[in-house]
Amino acid sequence: QVQLVESGGGLVEAGGSLRLSCEASGRIFSINLMGWYRQAPGKQRDLVATITNSGSTNYQDSVKGRFAISRDNAKNTVYLVMNSLKPEDTGVYYCTLGYLDGVQWKDAWGQGTQVTVSS
């Protein structure tokens, strides 16, 4: 069983910054893609950013230049630094990753962490 534990969410004023962390634990032989999604109230869950095991990144257009995703492979942890936050960045942020459990590749999701940006 693999668990993802997220931290770092909270309430911040517009223009502020937050750093999210997500640590994976359990039976993990390897991790390929890691990423962050967010879900605003009443909306679908959307991709925010991804990072491959070689460090290649991809971002949703609305966060380019403001957010930065990174990972620490030794710690099975992915981070999301969010700068110049806007009220429209408000939502529940979920981390996700693809991992090899020794037999097959699977997906895992965190429980979500709330980010609220006040205007």
pLDDT in tens, 96-108: 999 999 999 999 9
The whole-number pLDDT of residue 1 equals 85
DSSP β-bridge partners for residue 85: none
* Residue 111 pLDDT grade (very low, low, confident, very high; cuts 50, 70, 90): very high
In angstroms, rounded to a whole number, what is the distance separating the alpha carbons of residues 88 and 79?
20
In angstroms, rounded to a whole number, what is the distance separating the alpha carbons of residues 101 and 32?
12
The whole-number pLDDT of residue 73 equals 95
> What are the residues whose beta carbons fall under 8 Å from the beta carbon of 5, sequence distance 6 or more?
22, 23, 25, 110, 111
pLDDT in tens, 33-87: 999 999 998 999 999 999 999 999 999 999 999 999 999 999 999 999 999 999 9
Q: 4 with 106: CB under 8 angstroms?
A: no
Quickly count: other Cβ atoms within 10 Å of residue 23's Cβ: 17
In angstroms, rounded to a whole number, what is the distance separating the alpha carbons of residues 7 and 42?
23
In angstroms, rounded to a whole number, what is the distance separating the alpha carbons of residues 52 and 86?
27
The whole-number pLDDT of residue 34 equals 98
Q: 115 with 91: CB under 8 angstroms?
A: yes
